[in-house]
Amino acid sequence: MAPAFRSRPFTSMAQTFISLNDGNKAPWLGFGTGTALFGKDAAESVSTAIQTGIRHLDGAQAYVNEDSLGKGIKASGIPRSELYVVTKLRETVPAGTTPKSALQESLKKLGLDYVDLYLIHSPFKAAQEGKLKEWWASMEETKNEGLAKSIGVSNFYVDHLKTILEDAKIVPAANQIELHPYILKAAQPTLDFCKERDIVIESYGGLTPVARVPGGPVDPVITAIAERLSKETGTVVNSGQVLSKWLLQKGIIVITTSSKVSRIQEALAVSSLPDLTVEEIKSIENEGSKLHKRIFMKHVFNE
């Protein structure tokens, strides 16, 4: 069993970090360059996010904007050593390409010597072709050769993780999945398995109950919590911040995106908000279990 402290957040130099199983650490809040920025020039948004206080940049080969992510990093003027940069291997790898060679191409586009975390974006195609173990072996090469400080996966559930762990020499540091109250019940087996193996969970789509499924059963609960926190802090706390705080208290890295400086500032402020109570967390999860709603990567989960 993994040490209990591994996935707990801790704060250092005004940043809150999540410890990984390889000794590295990641800022709890990541700025995603997919969804709204998919296929677009992300340079200005990335530079603005960094200047606002973001230090964790989440990119991917599939987002088709790694070059502008790199430009945004350079334009920010913040030293590389202070940033945490992520990219992901695309779901379908062209013939003759390996995860390692794909990362080398990504590094050229990003203008970087290494990424802090390299993820397999999806297990779908590799699992179909029986290449999950082969892909993971190549991922391990990227870490061993210093191209990636940490390696992990995304959108993997238990069977996929078990497959690569049969021969793995390095346990994935992270598994990035869609996670919010309306998918928690379905994701619980994966969360439990990752906890046992000391694999940190990263969430995307965490604001789904607010942004994509308004009027759902968790709304009254998170509204009430937001009101309580607003009174306690003397500042306006919104429902999105409550959802991010819920994730953070579970030791989960949060990936979010916004073009508005005010929204980025709100997200960054979450780590300093008072904790949700045990009863509030239970209420969010109980109400969330009343509705199942997956927004992304449905094909991986046969939905």
pLDDT in tens, 100-121: 999 999 999 999 999 999 999 9
**Do residues 123 and 156 touch, judged by C-beta distance below 8 A?**
yes
Mean pLDDT of 220-248: 98
Q: Is residue 298 in a domain?
A: no
Q: Is residue 139 in a domain?
A: yes
Mean pLDDT of 221-233: 98
- Check pLDDT > 60 for residue 234: yes
pLDDT of residue 285: 98
204: annotated active-site residue: no
Structure tokens at 80: 């590389």
Number of domains in the chain: 1
Mean pLDDT of 236-251: 97
Q: Is residue 231 in a domain?
A: yes
Provide the domain limits for residue 148.
15-288
pLDDT of residue 259: 85
Q: Is residue 9 in a domain?
A: no
Task: Give the CATH number of the domain where residue 250 resides.
Answer: 3.20.20.100
Q: pLDDT per residue over 134-181, tens digit each?
A: 999 999 999 999 999 999 999 999 999 999 999 999 999 999 999 999
**Do residues 178 and 294 touch, judged by C-beta distance below 8 A?**
yes
Q: Are strands 15-19 and 25-27 parallel, antiparallel or unpaired?
A: antiparallel
Q: Is residue 205 in a domain?
A: yes
Binding-site residues from annotation for substrate: 121
pLDDT of residue 2: 35
Assign 4 a pLDDT band (cuts: 50, 70, 90): very low
Task: Choose the catalytic residue: 63, 84, 182, 204.
Answer: 63
Q: Which residues lie closer than 8 Å to 124 by C-beta, 6 or more apart?
A: 91, 155, 299, 300
- Check pLDDT > 80 for residue 270: yes
pLDDT of residue 15: 73
pLDDT of residue 6: 43
CA distance 300 to 279: 33
* CB hemisphere CA count around 101 (13 angstroms): 6
CA distance 275 to 278: 9
- Check pLDDT > 80 for residue 3: no
Q: What is the mean pLDDT of the chain?
A: 94
For 252-276, give one letter per residue: b (16+ CB within 10 A) or e: bbbbbbbeeeeebebbbbbbebeeb
pLDDT of residue 302: 93
pLDDT of residue 9: 64
Q: Is residue 8 in a domain?
A: no
Binding-site residues from annotation: 121
DSSP annotation string for 55-85: -EEE--GGGT-HHHHHHHHHHH---GGG-EE
- Check pLDDT > 70 for residue 12: no
Q: Is residue 120 in a domain?
A: yes
Mean pLDDT of 240-249: 98
Cβ neighbours around 300 below 10 Å, total: 21
**Do residues 18 and 29 touch, judged by C-beta distance below 8 A?**
no
**Do residues 250 and 280 touch, judged by C-beta distance below 8 A?**
no
Helix (H) or strand (E) holding 128: helix 124-128
Q: Is residue 4 in a domain?
A: no
Q: What is the identity of the amino acid at 82?
A: E
pLDDT of residue 136: 98
